[in-house]
Structure 1
Amino acid sequence: MNRPDILSPGEPEIDAVTAQCFVRFEEAFGTRGFAWDVQAQIMSLGKAIEIGKGKSAAIFSDEDSLVFLAEGACKLVAWAALDRAQVLSFHFAGDLVSVPARAEHEYGLIALTPSQILSFPTRRFLQAVNEESKLLVELHRRTDAALAECRDDSVGLGRKTAQERVARLLMQMAGRIGVASDNEVLIELPMSRGDIADSLGLTIETVSRQFGELRDAGLIETGGRSGVRVLDPEALLQRAGPTCPRV
């Protein structure tokens, strides 16, 4: 994976995008009821960035960042070298993503679809909202949930079979972006088979083979490059193994 073109914070400076990002942030976290000085600090700290598909957003590489995904879908990656990146996680509209500062590796968000994000320097943001207990509780809740999912993913990489890993990812996507219809779930996957393989520690060929086996078992149908219909969520859940969330 070659490093994509990078857009710096605030580029392009589109007022409509900035306004829309802050409106969606307010809706997600209820910041409209905060004191005026707190709202002003949040506005001054946040950097709205519009990212084209396949582009990477340079956040605040010298410090930890909190990134609110206002629209679209992104993958969080760690660059091991200029042309080698590890997909760490997938994120969708409404997610709040913790992006570490550059250390042994450089981290970044790459848009899977055209996306809009709002980026804050973590330390200064937390200082600005340290009196807003409801927001802090919500941030802790999201952090705890992300850590729990990260632990489960680590177990999956170390102990689950290839089919269990693929089934678990499909169940996760069904819960996040799936559309339920009767007893089925339709998913439009924004990520490529290569992204899926990278995130699961598998080869593209293995991922494709597991999709085929799940399809042959009557658990899923596939359409085009991104469409997946989960025909039997309960049976797919069983294939995913323990710790997999229900849809």
Structure 2
Amino acid sequence: METHTNRLRTVTAVRYVTPLRSGGSVPGVVEADDLGTYVVKFTGSAQGRKALVAEVVVGELARHLGLRVPELVLVNFDPSVAAGEPHEEVQDLLHASAGLNLGMDHLPGAADFTPRTPGAPEADPVESARILWLDAFTANVDRTVHSSNLMTWPASGPQKPLLWLIDHGASLVFHHRWESAADAVGKAYDFRFHALGSPGLDMAAADAELAHRVTPRLLRRIVAAVPDAWLADEPGFATPEEVREAYVAHLASRVRMSDRWLPQVAS
């Protein structure tokens, strides 16, 4: 079997800056030994390691399809770097997350993209169709008008702010029940509350542009970036490599069935 590597960089946390309480997983801003600052999602969070798997798979897939995602890195985290964190529940999370976690490059000054509100920037319809296609393909249930998980950056300067995709941990819902994952391969996508699901998007064009690029070769390259530790001890699988192949098989089958799940946006 042909395999491919798409390794994420690994950094080590040297300073825990602050928790972010905007989401249930309580990610944290961390400074690392490469002088970078990252928003880190922790393995000890309520969402667990599968949310991190989804972040890697969907985030790297988006990047390979030409969409903007802040760089993802693996973060070695020692809870001792956060000894000064005063909140007991955050300390519990951090102590449960010793070892390898997932970081996303922090975009300084980035702003939440809030669609359909006065003064919000207009999203490019071609890019909107591509993002909606990605979300439908990966069954992302968390890019809504209430929480778009889109950022605009840079926030100032001569360049027009660009959309950046974040927070894909709620995608790939099939991997929470592998025993019934086959039933979800062709499942339709409910886009009624999608942040970018406006009338007139050319979803057929997005499908024609993107679907043929999602090959088993690309998928194997992407899932190779997921650490073995996040795939180990999965019921029904003997090795992490078997789990990786299950992701490849599911997503390769789903992309061939886009006629079943492609959003039919009214003109």
TM-score by length of structure 2 reads 0.31
Please state which structure has a larger fraction of its residues in helix. Answer: 1
TM-score by length of structure 1 reads 0.33
Please state which structure has a larger fraction of its residues in strand. Answer: 1
